[in-house]
Each structure stands twice: as C-alpha cells, then as structure tokens.
Amino acid sequence: MLQVATLIVFPALMVFAALSDLFTMTISNRISLILITAFPVFALAAGLDGRQIGLHLACGFGVLVVTFVMFARNWIGGGDAKLAAATAVWVGFEHLGDYGLDSALIGGALTLSIIYARLIPLPRFVVGIEWVTRLHERGAGIPYGIALAIAGLIVYPDTGVWAAAAGA
C-alpha cells in the first residue's frame, strides 16, 4: 500500500499545485509542506538510507536558498520558490539539472504562450470567467507553478524513490 502511495502522492500534489496556480495564481504552503514531510516516510519505505534522505533534504534546502533570492528580487512568486524547493527534495541532486532544465524550457514556452495570448482579444464566451480574465491581463504574473509541476512529473519516474516503489 505504501508503494502505491509513493507512486501517487507526489504526482497528485504536482497536479494540484499546477491547477491551483492556474486558477488562483497561488500555491498553498500546505502543498510544499506535505511534499517535504511526506518525502522521508516514502523514501524510507522505498529503501533509501538516512544519508540519501539527508542529501535529498539538502538539495531542497539549496534550491530554497536560490529561489528565495529570486523571490526577493521579485523574479518569481513565493509559492513557486517553495514548490521548486519541495520538488527538489523529491528529485534530489541526481536529477536537479534535468528538473531545472525542464522547468526552464516548459516555463519559457508557457510564458511566451501566455504573452502571445494576451495580445489577442478574449472571446466573449470566456470574458466572465474570472481566472481566464486574470490570466489574460497584460502585466499579470505567469502561473509558473504549472511549469514546475510538469517538470517534476517528467523527472519523477527517473528518481530512486519512484524506481524503488515501482519495483524497478
């Protein structure tokens, strides 16, 4: 049962974070806290030892430091910073480069798509939909949590936690 949860919890939280950011432009602190607190439980169940778990936590802390600086410079939102750090805990140093590259590529495509879409008038049938209108506003932020979540979902199956839980 714990193996199934290991395969489901992380992806479910990533999807929830992406949808939350899309619809509300916020990512709840609870998502990041659940990811961080759940990781050691699932990692132990998957057979990672204390040293490996510590390295994953250190990876998340390192990403938090970097993303906090980015947040302080108003380059990213606070929820994005925390989500990136919490995701880094799950992917670890071994897959951090892939996660960063995937996040950047997906985030760039997402940003360009939204900027382009903002140049086109909204169709009448979506004008009254609050989240669509907010997303379409020029100068509004980009829900970058979508890119962070998708990148996390892409990288997760390559991680040791996934492999151990899947029996690979």
Helix and strand numbers (H, E) in the chain are: 7, 0
The arithmetic mean of pLDDT across residues 116-144, rounded, is 90
pLDDT-based confidence at residue 128 (cuts at 50, 70, 90): confident
9-21 per-position pLDDT tens digit: 999 999 999 999 9
Distance CA 153, CA 94 (A): 15
pLDDT, residue 94, reads: 96
The arithmetic mean of pLDDT across residues 137-157, rounded, is 94
52-101 per-position pLDDT tens digit: 999 999 999 999 999 999 999 999 999 999 999 999 999 999 999 999 99
